[in-house]
Amino acid sequence: MLIALLTLLGGCVATATRMDYKHRCPYIGVRFDWWLVDISHGKLIPLVLLDAPFSLVVDTVFFPFEYQYSCNL
C-alpha cells in the first residue's frame, strides 16, 4: 500500500511545474526539488529523497519536448 501511495505521489513537483508554461525547462522537477532543499536549509531532504527519483523519470520522459528551453530558478 505504501509503495502504491509513493508511486502516485512521486513526481508531483515535476508534474506540477509543467502546469506553469511560463517556466518550461529541462529537468524542472529535479531542479525545483534541490532548490527546495537549498531554501529549507536541508529540512526537506527526506521529502526530496522520495520525490526526486520520480521527478527524474518524469523529467527524462519530457526531455525531448523541453530541451530547447532554458530557465533559472
Rounded CA-CA distance 22/42 in Å is: 27
- Going by the DSSP 8-state scheme, the letter that residue 23 receives in this structure is G
Label residue 71 by pLDDT band (50, 70, 90). confident
Indicate whether 3 pLDDT > 70.
no
Q: Which residue has the cell 525547462?
A: 25
H-state helical runs in 1-73:
2-9, 12-17, 28-39, 45-66
How many other CB atoms are there within 10 angstroms of residue 2's CB atom?
A: 6
Residue 7 half-sphere exposure toward CB, CA atoms < 13 A: 4
Which tens digit of pLDDT belongs to each residue from 42-66? Answer: 888 888 888 888 888 888 888 888 8
